[in-house]
Amino acid sequence: MHQTKNARQTTQTKPSTYLNEAVAIWLRDLRSEFRTRYALNAILMFAVTTLIAVSFSIGSFRIEEAERPFLYAVLLWIILTFSALSGLARSFVKEEEAGTMDILKLSARPQAVFLGKLLFNLTLLGAMELIIVPSFILLMAYQINFPGFFIAMVVSGGLGLAAGTTIIAAMIARASARGALFSALSIPLLLPLMITAIKGCERAAVGIGTAGWPEVKMAVAYVIVMVIMSLFLFPLVWEE
Amino acid sequence: MFTLNVSGIGKHYGDALLFKDISFRLNLGDVFAIVGWNGSGKSTLLRIIAGLVRPSAGRIEMFCNGEPIPKESRRQFVGMVAPALSLYDELTGLENMEFFCRVRGVDCNRNNCLEIIDGVGLAEHATKTCGDYSSGMKQRLKLAQALLHKPPLLLLDEPGCNLDSKGIKVVEGIISKQRQLGVTVIASNEKREADYADKAINLSE
């Protein structure tokens, strides 16, 4: 018991900030994911399977050249969105399934939990985009005339996907039919972002109408609105 | 000086009443037991005190040196052990402690964490993943987690659950030391655990 006494002399001297808490949650989630690979496997399996299916069934020669910019943008964002939907809900669902939700509620502030989970989903989505987007471009011989705009669109669209799916994942974590509910709630919320991202990627491929980067600005605005709203709403979702 | 004030707490799920009008006040050094049959609401009352469940009626107040503690800050004052609270199975015992230190803002290095783990008798198993722990070892780690920020309010739901005689001694030592640090509330069916308390409430009555 002497050791217990010593151990309890540990004192709280560091003020805990939202960022410190969020980073701790993010690093813990990354470590857990690195060991279990639940979400990463789900996302990559879906993404690679659909990518291969699309590239074999459609390829680069079955579409008229004039239609390619639009159709390729649609296919790319369908793959990215549905791959994200297949794995990003895990960030909260795994806490509920493992029974760790309550201990996290007792340890961290709600906004820090949201930010930590958002960082984790951004990391997963970033890794997915790094694999899927170059593969899609290669397999489909995707011609992009304005690569800077295209990259900005993929990055801002990815941020929007992560922000949208993180708050919905929190909302559905305690529901019984989580999978169906996650898709049902995500699609209407993500639809404006998808339409914007598709339009942006089409413009990047054609190389016309990109002045002022309107779609990128719209996607960034979507991210800002979604994150701010989520920070306000998340405590209501998180607490019973 | 820490004070817990529970006044008029009630909880019902739909039309089913679990308990009503529970009131008590605890001060530094108090050990309080909540006893009752299975399903009488012991764990729910503990979860209400912890802020994990909203009561249907009444309010929970906490005071530090006479000053009320705002609801959003209370988690810093509460340490909880319960069968339903799980730790991260894919992390080691040491990694779990390091995570809870970081997230709670406790200034705690690896040696401090090891010392805390040693305090509950898990030093040899600190680098094993929790998924490989026995249920008794997990319970000991939960105790360590609840204590690392030295909370003035310690909520113990069946603290001796799955513990061997050495583990029970650890629990006894923790409750005894908590008398100097704050308040302990124990929810249990075990007479031995209820006997640690000076005061008790029976939710079955």
Task: Find chain B residues with C-beta within 8 A of A109's C-beta.
Answer: 72, 75
Give the CA distances from residue B114 to residues B125, B129, B142, B150, in Å, rounded to whole numbers and listed in that order: 10, 15, 14, 16
Phi/psi-derived region of residue B8, left when phi > 0, alpha when psi is between -120 and 50, beta in every other case = left
Chain B contact present for A1, CB below 8 A: yes
Alpha helices in chain A (DSSP H): 2-7, 18-36, 38-57, 68-87, 90-98, 101-107, 110-140, 147-172, 178-206, 214-238
This model of the complex carries an ipTM of 0.93
Q: Give the integer Cα–Cα distance in Å for A21 and A27.
A: 10
Q: B88 and A28: CB-CB below 8 Å?
A: yes
Task: Find chain B residues with C-beta within 8 A of A237's C-beta.
Answer: none
| Token pair in block for residue A201 | 């990627």
Q: What is the CATH number of domain B2-202?
A: 3.40.50.300
The residue ranges of every structural domain in chain B are 2-202
Single pTM value for the model = 0.90
Chain B contact present for A236, CB below 8 A: no
Residue-by-residue pLDDT tens, chain B, 205 positions: 899 999 999 999 988 999 999 999 999 999 999 999 999 999 999 999 999 999 999 999 999 998 999 998 899 999 999 999 999 999 999 999 999 999 998 887 888 899 999 999 999 999 999 999 999 999 999 999 999 999 999 999 999 999 999 999 999 999 999 999 999 999 998 888 899 999 999 998 7
Q: What is the pLDDT of residue A58?
A: 81
Do the Cβ atoms of A44 and A132 come closer than 8 Å? no
Q: B116 and A108: CB-CB below 8 Å?
A: no
| Token pair in block for residue B167 | 């583990």
- Looking at CA atoms only, how far is residue B39 from chain A in angstroms? 20
| Token pair in block for residue B62 | 């906490």
Q: What is the pLDDT of residue A14?
A: 60
Biggest CA pair distance of chain B: 51
Q: Nearest 5°: phi and psi at A227?
A: -65, -45
Chain A contact present for B64, CB below 8 A: no
Q: What is the pLDDT of residue A60?
A: 64
Chain B contact present for A133, CB below 8 A: no
Task: Find chain B residues with C-beta within 8 A of A38's C-beta.
Answer: none
- Looking at CA atoms only, how far is residue B56 from chain A in angstroms? 12
Q: What is the pLDDT of residue B121?
A: 92
